Structure 1
Amino acid sequence: MSIINSQIKPFTAEAFHNGAFINVSDETLQGKWSVVFFYPADFTFVCPTELGDLADLYPEFQKLGVEIYSVSTDTHFTHKAWHDTSDTIKKIQYPMLGDPTHAISRNFGVLIEEEGLADRGTFVIDPEGRIQIVEITSGGVGRDASELLRKVKAAQYVANHPGEVCPAKWKEGEATLAPSLDLIGKI
């Protein structure tokens, strides 16, 4: 069963954010576009490259009204320790959620049960709390924040322009498609 357009399940979490511990829940995500970005663990190798890439583009996501939430099965205390010791992680200004109970990772279907770690999963959630984009990669394959930004822009465009769709490699300002009988077999 596809989870596209499904409502996110309830959750609560402690997060490290801008030097403080905060509470984040599914209700926190309501009313705005969100990216929930799962990664296996703090103090690893591919993870800081991805989180740093997101940190570099975070202002661009913010301009679109999008909040980023990174999530691993570490605690919020571990996130703070990593933030305090890594130059790459110090750049992060988005909330870093702890999921030591694995509840959030299970809710999103990315928990590797036998390891107690999350897969690399990216979920774009609309303001109504519905999942619009899902990407899951294996542990050794890092994700690209600029491609995620492009996909978020496409999802927002489609949400704001009923009857239009974004073709492959679509970039903001480029032509979209209006599906109709006239287009069948013409693309």
Structure 2
Amino acid sequence: MLTIGQEFPKFSKTAVVSIEKGKEFETLTSDYFTNDDNVWTVMFWWPKDFTFVCPTEIAEFNKSYGEFRDRDARLIGASTDSEFVHAAWRRDHEDLRDLKFPMLADTSKSLAEDLGILEPTEKIAYRATFIVDPTGIIRWVSVNDLNVGRNVKEVLRVLDGLQTDELCPCNWEKGQDTLSV
């Protein structure tokens, strides 16, 4: 599995960005990660569309979208399902209709494989979360078992800590003192 300090892999994938007819799809590339705007990227993966735990996570990331934006971070959701399945799920599931971030389709499973998060038996992605800095370097990785949803508040807490570029003690939260050496 790729980890902290490594460059996020190069990719070009189709993503669902809307449910409006004719405007559903865009191509996202790894260039999305590196930019001159000092924007961070949070990419989170789920195993399968039309399941039970996954939409609770996706909806929670969407509810927190403004908090990520306020931290100069963009969100990308991803799974190994196709863009057509993503679009159908968004149209079908009330909590997913108004997503503010793209749903990346890794149908070839190549990006999940490059990241090292492809479950070996079913060939689906683990519940992995990557925080990538504006230069395209992975700064945090968290992977959950397929049955356990992640904690979006913890992703925000870690992003806050990384953005301080200082030493943050256990249970540190934004606004608290960092450590001085």
CA-to-aligned-CA distance 1:27-75 (integer Å, 9 cap, x gap): 1111220011011010001000000110100111011111111110001
Supply the distance in 1 between the matched residues of 2:84 and 2:2 (Cα, whole angstroms).
34
Count matched residues: 174
Question: 2:172 matched to which residue of 1?
Answer: 170
CA-to-aligned-CA distance 1:104-134 (integer Å, 9 cap, x gap): 1011110113212000000000000000000
Is the Cα contact below 8 Å between 1:40 and 1:120 reproduced in 2? yes
Question: 2:108 matched to which residue of 1?
Answer: 101
Correspondence 1:133 to 2:137: no
Q: TM-score, normalised by structure 2?
A: 0.92
| Cα distance, 1:14–1:61 mapped onto 2, change above 3 Å | same
Is the Cα contact below 8 Å between 1:17 and 1:94 reproduced in 2? yes
Give the match's secondary structure for 1:117: coil
Question: 1:6 matched to which residue of 2?
Answer: 6
Amino acid in the other structure paired with 1:70: G
Amino acid in the other structure paired with 1:8: F
Deviation at 1:147, TM superposition (A): 1.4
CA RMSD of aligned residues (A): 1.3
Q: Which structure 1 segments of 5+ residues have no match?
A: 159-163, 180-187
Supply the distance in 2 between the matched residues of 1:85 and 1:14 (Cα, whole angstroms).
20
Q: TM-score, normalised by structure 1?
A: 0.89
Is the Cα contact below 8 Å between 2:3 and 2:140 reproduced in 1? no
Is the Cα contact below 8 Å between 1:17 and 1:96 reproduced in 2? yes
| Cα distance, 1:41–1:2 mapped onto 2, change above 3 Å | closer
Deviation at 1:79, TM superposition (A): 0.7
Q: Counterparts of 1:40-119 in structure 2 under 5 Å?
A: 40-119=47-126
Give the match's secondary structure for 1:18: coil
CA-to-aligned-CA distance 1:122-176 (integer Å, 9 cap, x gap): 0000000000000001011101111111111111111xxxxx3111111111110
Question: 2:28 matched to which residue of 1?
Answer: 24
Runs of 4+ residues over 6 Å off in structure 1: none
Supply the distance in 1 between the matched residues of 2:158 and 2:98 (Cα, whole angstroms).
23
Amino acid in the other structure paired with 1:58: Y
Deviation at 1:2, TM superposition (A): 6.6
Is the Cα contact below 8 Å between 1:52 and 1:91 reproduced in 2? no
Is the Cα contact below 8 Å between 1:34 and 1:66 reproduced in 2? yes
